[in-house]
Chains A and B, each alone.
Chain A
Amino acid sequence: GESVGLHLPTLSVQEGDNSIINCAYSNSASDYFIWYKQESGKGPQFIIDIRSNMDKRQGQRVTVLLNKTVKHLSLQIAATQPGDSAVYFCAENLGDNFNKFYFGSGTKLNVKP
């Protein structure tokens, strides 16, 4: 199967600081990437996505960067808040008709007050 991995299993940041969560993907043919947030006891929730024809996309307090040369994806969260504490997953998609997303193992973000 595909391999999507996260560099750090746990990340602790101070409230108000910026957070950066990294992800490596293995398939150079992947053309669609999504970051999901999963809070305890809940299902994964869409945060932001990016297609391979872009290298940066911004949302509200979040930015996703895509480096296709080294097959690396990152999620930046500005002014991290306690409500951002969760597990974050990156997912890659080959863009074929069957919409199969392959997920990384997740990074747990702890926001300290």
Chain B
Amino acid sequence: ETGVTQTPRHLVMGMTNKKSLKCEQHLGHNAMYWYKQSAKKPLELMFVYSLEERVENNSVPSRFSPECPNSSHLFLHLHTLQPEDSALYLCASSWGTGELFFGEGSRLTVL
């Protein structure tokens, strides 16, 4: 079983849809992250959760809503997205201030 698992791997949604991305880590880490990866842009940090408490928002639009019910699970709820939100959304986890372990990503396309 891989360390960080993301589902779905691919998602196509309309601008009026509501969907969620799921991330699960099996590494016993205490922090989880959402990053956005767009073409020709650096990875952008969206959210950081430490011990299930959000500690970083990074000015992300409210149409992205994270949820961290426990230290192993992280969700990104999506609603009324825009075409420019199409990107690869990467989940990562870490133990404290150590290295990030990434999942394979969820490729999102907004029509």
Contacts and interface: CB of A to CB of B under 8 A. Distances in A.
Interface string B86-111: 00001010101111111111000000
Contacts of A103: 42-43
Interface stretch (B14-22, B48-56, B65-73, B76-84): B48-56
Interface string B1-23: 00010100000000000000000
Contacts of B101: 46
Contacts of A102: 42, 45
A4 B42 contact: yes
Contact of B104 (A36, A42, A95, A96): A42
B45 A100 contact: yes
B94 A106 contact: no
Nearest to B40: A105
Nearest to B100: A101
B42 A98 contact: no
Interface of B: 4, 6, 31, 40-43, 45, 48, 50, 55-56, 90, 92, 94, 96-105
27 contacts: A36-B102, A41-B104, A42-B105, A43-B4, A43-B90, A43-B103, A43-B105, A44-B90, A44-B100, A46-B101, A89-B42, A91-B100, A93-B97, A96-B97, A97-B97, A98-B55, A98-B56, A99-B31, A99-B48, A99-B50, A100-B56, A102-B42, A102-B45, A104-B42, A105-B40, A105-B42, A106-B42
Interface of A: 4, 32, 34, 36, 41-46, 49, 89, 91, 93, 95-106
Closest 7 CB pairs of A and B: A43-B102, A103-B43, A99-B97, A103-B42, A44-B102, A43-B104, A105-B42
